[in-house]
Amino acid sequence: MPDTSPILALPYIQPSQAQKHVTHNDALQLLDAIVQLVVTSADLTDPPVNPQVGARYIVAAGATGSWSGQDGAIAVADAAGWLFYVPQTGWRADDLSSGGQIRFNGTDWDSVIPVLEELTQLGVGTTADTVNRLAVSAQASLLTHDGSDHRLKINKAATEDTASLLFQTGWSGRAEMGTTASDDFEIKVSADGVGFTQAIVVDRHSGAVKAPGNPAFTAFTAGGWFNITTPHTDLIFDTPVLNRGGHYDPLTSRFTAPVDGFYCFLINGFLGSSTNGRICFAINDETQLLQMQALSGVSPLSFSAVLGLSAGQYVTCRTGNVNAALNYSRAHTAFSGWLIS
């Protein structure tokens, strides 16, 4: 029968052995030292003064004093001095000084880094699932460079698929940016998380930027020349050829601003007057002082203005406040407007 166990070298009690308690107590002392190994520190080279009996340390390289020559060993404070135990490859210990776990590699003690390769799910502060395989619940998430650059990549399988960032309120989508159902870059918004409206589209070929959500309109009126003889009278443009967003009403020839902003309005066509009549844009039926005078006779005329509007205000094109007599060619005169910013 061997004298010690094959793994931890615990001493065996031999047949007819005298003072069996000594061997038994030696084995218990060894188990007490190395089982559930928690060390006060693994960075000291000098033995601490007056350590608590039973305190365990891992001797750091270059040890001095009573620890000299015991680099890497487990040092246990005993009433009579220090007891040293040689670790085996794979032994682990919790290091109270660092809060980490260390492992003996056969030569040195190294920090234990969890293996995170090929995880099927990972939840940080929350629970991941089969769709959200990486889930993080925190006030912020930080991704930073390692040396210089840092690039976050979102890849999709095919053009018709989606690669995007979705911003939610109460788990309901409100804004999305990325390449959705095409390779053009888009920013979309939603009021209910169900229907989304394109706000900005960047063409993947040319880089041209479109704003499909911005209101815009152009309208004219079928027919020949029409004469207006009174001031503050709206011109009629009842045939829209463009009405993005539906904010132009052909029945009233009014454009109603859907949001606060600056809007540009344009009248362009053939106008004439026998009395140098004026043309302008009105806000909520209020004739604006910014006006343009039509020349006597018939001539091409283009008049534009930028107006700051609040949501709900409406704009019409009308005659000015003086010299009202004005003729315009209905089929060849258009009223247009669009949101600038």
Q: pLDDT, tens digit, for every residue of 189-215?
A: 999 999 999 999 999 999 999 999 899
With respect to residue 30, please indicate whether it lies within any of the assigned structural domains.
Answer: no
Do 203 and 268 share a domain, yes or no?
A: no
With respect to residue 335, please indicate whether it lies within any of the assigned structural domains.
Answer: yes
Interatomic CA distance for residues 117 and 81, integer angstroms: 45
With respect to residue 141, please indicate whether it lies within any of the assigned structural domains.
Answer: no
Do 237 and 278 share a domain, yes or no?
A: yes
Contact 57, 42 (CB under 8 A): yes
pLDDT in tens, 221-236: 999 888 888 889 999 9
Do 236 and 260 share a domain, yes or no?
A: yes
Interatomic CA distance for residues 296 and 284, integer angstroms: 29
Token readout for 223 is 């027919």
> DSSP code of 331?
G
With respect to residue 304, please indicate whether it lies within any of the assigned structural domains.
Answer: yes
Do 52 and 99 share a domain, yes or no?
A: yes
Contact 306, 324 (CB under 8 A): no
With respect to residue 146, please indicate whether it lies within any of the assigned structural domains.
Answer: no
Do 209 and 254 share a domain, yes or no?
A: no
| 272 or 329, higher pLDDT | 329
In this prediction, residue 44 has a pLDDT band, given cuts at 50, 70 and 90, of very high
Do 293 and 257 share a domain, yes or no?
A: yes
Element (H, E) at 98: none
With respect to residue 120, please indicate whether it lies within any of the assigned structural domains.
Answer: no
Give the pLDDT confidence score for residue 22 in this predicted structure: 58
* Mean pLDDT, all residues of the chain: 89
For the domain that residue 226 is a member of, what is the CATH number? 2.60.120.40
Cα distances (Å, whole numbers) of residue 108 to 43, 46, 111, 200: 12, 18, 10, 58
Contact 184, 299 (CB under 8 A): no
Dihedral sign of CA atoms 25, 26, 29, 35 in order = negative
With respect to residue 31, please indicate whether it lies within any of the assigned structural domains.
Answer: no
Q: Looking at residues 162-177, what average pLDDT do you find?
A: 97
Do 241 and 334 share a domain, yes or no?
A: yes
Tokens 């009126």 appear where? 221
Do 277 and 323 share a domain, yes or no?
A: yes
Dihedral sign of CA atoms 85, 87, 88, 92 in order = positive
Closest CA to 272 of 336, 337, 332, 335: 332
Interatomic CA distance for residues 258 and 134, integer angstroms: 40
Do 227 and 295 share a domain, yes or no?
A: yes
Do 199 and 260 share a domain, yes or no?
A: no
With respect to residue 300, please indicate whether it lies within any of the assigned structural domains.
Answer: yes
Domain span at 178 = 159-213
Do 268 and 287 share a domain, yes or no?
A: yes
The rounded percent of the chain whose pLDDT value lies above 70 is 89
Task: Show which of 213, 239, 255 is a domain's final residue.
Answer: 213
pTM over cut 0.95: no
Number of domains the chain is built from:
3
Do 198 and 228 share a domain, yes or no?
A: no
Residue 17 has pLDDT above 70, yes or no: no
Residue 267 has pLDDT above 80, yes or no: yes
Task: Show which of 72, 90, 111 is a domain's final residue.
Answer: 111
Residue 288 has pLDDT above 60, yes or no: yes
**To the nearest 10°, the Cα dihedral for 304, 307, 310, 311?**
10
